[in-house]
Amino acid sequence: MKKTILLFALAAIVFMAIPSVLAFEVKPQVVVIDHTYTFSIGPGGSFYTYSSLLDDIYGSTTGTGHADKYVMTVTSTTTITIELVDCCLMGDTICIGKSMTKKKCATSPGTVVVTHTFSPGKYVLGVWYDLPNTGVFPAGYDIWFTA
């Protein structure tokens, strides 16, 4: 189910345990959360999904920003590698993070790869298309979380 949420400031790819509420924010605007993925991960675990977004975070095409939300519960201290890949390699810039200023992005054909050791807890991350983008939406991506 899509949720429209007024977000005020996107927070950090410096991963810290946070409450299970939406924790990534953007400049004051309405952002539609296209999908919410919730999963648990610990040593030896993994999570994968393919997803698509209807517009970039700024709403360049539709006038409303779009993002996906990932709620990750880490069961014990674990080093996790996150790999984020734009599906069609058209030169779009895709990002993962908790803030517009503290994020990790790549322009395809590049990929986003983040490795971090997480303490047990709940973490909320956003995935979105940033500028530049081709303006061709929906735009799909693959994401892997591997411990």
Residue 55 lies in a domain: yes
Higher pLDDT, 2 or 103: 103
pLDDT digits (tens, 9 = 90+) for 47-102: 999 999 999 998 988 888 999 999 999 999 999 999 999 988 788 999 999 877 77
* Residue 142 placed within a domain: no
Distance CA 12, CA 55 (A): 22
Note whether 97 and 63 are within 8 A (CB): no
- Report the chain's C-alpha Rg in angstroms: 14
Structural domain for 29, as ranges: 3-136
pLDDT of residue 4: 32
State the pLDDT at residue 43: 97
Query: What are the DSSP E strand ranges found in 8-135?
Result: 29-41, 46-53, 65-74, 78-86, 93-97, 103-107, 112-118, 121-130
> Is 146 part of any domain?
no
Whether residue 20 is predicted with pLDDT greater than 70 in this model: the reply is no
Residue 76, domain member (yes or no): yes
pLDDT of residue 26: 52
Give a yes or no: residue 115 inside a domain. Answer: yes
CA atoms within 13 A on the CB side of 65: 23
Is the pLDDT at 131 greater than 70, yes or no? yes
CATH for 70:
2.60.120
If one counts the domains in the chain, the total is 1
Of 145, 139, 12, 147, nearest to 67 by C-alpha is 139
List the single range of 19-23, 79-83, 140-144 with lowest mean pLDDT.
Answer: 19-23
Angle at 106 between CA 101 and CA 108, to 5 degrees: 150
Q: What's the average model confidence in pLDDT over 31-38?
A: 93
Does some domain include residue 143?
no
